[in-house]
Structure 1
């Protein structure tokens, strides 16, 4: 079910109401023209690191996607249920495409749906791997920053579309009615 809202978060079309957290989306869109898609979610490993008040250590090439593109909001004080609160949060996030809210979850942005969904799926894997590496108590092998910069560009340019196409095929295979 899709709900269409106007720029002030009033429902224009759809069967359901929207969460008061919709202001996270509207205000990020206002402040960041590049943030055409905003995803807010609470996946387990992202939430686990959020509970620890930390960003994931980038220990695998997929983490390159988030190189210099993460923000930790270490003082998240509850529901963003008003535009003024969302403006404050969006201002703190700045240009980062990933924000982890302490004791909460994540906000992910993208220029398009494929990019945002790829980031949202990838950050959960990145956080899980970072957490599992932490549990070993060992220091991970360092990655070369230059390699990470190149990988980041490649992941944004190519992997997002490949991931999106695969996810669409799996969804259609599971339920052809999504095409109706």
Structure 2
């Protein structure tokens, strides 16, 4: 079981980098299985991640594996606590979404029918320092009634019943931000 989960995390981590949704050390993905959370290890780089760079923690944040979890593990745990229906989370740093977060307050306007169907709304959570419980709490609150949120000056979070679903919602958030940004210039 854990081997299949780690394989998924590696696959979608590399795909996120290939598609320009994150760069360098930024971003992390996770999958919840029962009381365990599989998440990118601290210091791992998305485009060359390996199964050995997947950390495992329990829902209280206790490290179960030999590698330390991403500094954003609190963010993932807070969302899983508030949203028991969520089984996977994508936290990425796509450029248009970050730029939009500096220009829009409240919510990113929904432009396409696809975004309306799959996302419904894209709230923008106010800035809080990365890796903090403050950030975890404010973002978890933002995704209580949404499957996506943009974090001001930081990146995005999307959730799903599978990692595939969370990943493609992340692509949809970035497409929405890009279309919104380009429509401002028209």
Q: What residue is the counterpart of 2:146 in the other structure? A: 96
State yes or no: 1:50 paired with 2:101. yes
Q: TM-score, normalised by structure 2?
A: 0.63
- Report the secondary structure of 2:54's partner residue: coil
Q: 2:108 touches 2:177 (CA, 8 Å); kept in 1?
A: yes
Aligned mates of 1:85, 1:44 — CA distance in 2: 19
Structure 2: segments with no counterpart, 5+ residues: 1-52
Give distance in 2, aligned partners of 1:131 and 1:33: 33
Q: CA–CA distance in 1 between the matches of 2:119 and 2:88? A: 20
- The equivalent of 1:119 in structure 2 is 169
Give the equivalent residue in structure 2 for 1:131: 181
Q: What is the CA-CA distance between 1:46 and the residue it aligns to?
A: 0.8
CA distance in 1, matches of 2:72, 2:100: 21
Residue pair 2:101, 2:153 contacting (<8 A) in 1 also: yes
> 3-state DSSP class of the match of 2:108?
coil
Gaps of at least 5 residues in structure 1 are 137-180
> For 2:119 and 2:165, how far apart are their aligned partners in 1?
15
Q: What SS does structure 1 have at the residue aligned with 2:124?
A: strand
Q: Give the structure with the larger helix fraction.
A: 1
1:108 to 158, 175, 180: 158
More strand per residue: 1 or 2?
Answer: 2
Equivalent-residue separation in structure 2 for 1:57 and 1:85 (angstroms): 23
Matched, 1:36 2:87: yes
Equivalence for 1:151? none
Q: Which one of 127, 146, 165 corresponds to residue 76 of structure 1?
A: 127
Whether 2:53 is the aligned partner of 1:7: answer: no
Secondary structure at 1:99 match in 2: strand
Shift of 1:4: 1.4
**CA 1:127/1:32 → structure 2, altered by over 3 Å: closer, same or farther?**
same
2:4 alignment counterpart? none
Q: State the secondary structure of the residue aligned to 1:127.
A: helix
Distance 1:130 1:89 in 2: 22
- Mapped to 2, the partners of 1:80 and 1:57 lie a distance apart of 27
CA distances 1:104-161 after superposition (whole Å, capped 9, x unpaired): 211111111121111012211221112111110xxxxxxxxxxxxxxxxxxxxxxxxx
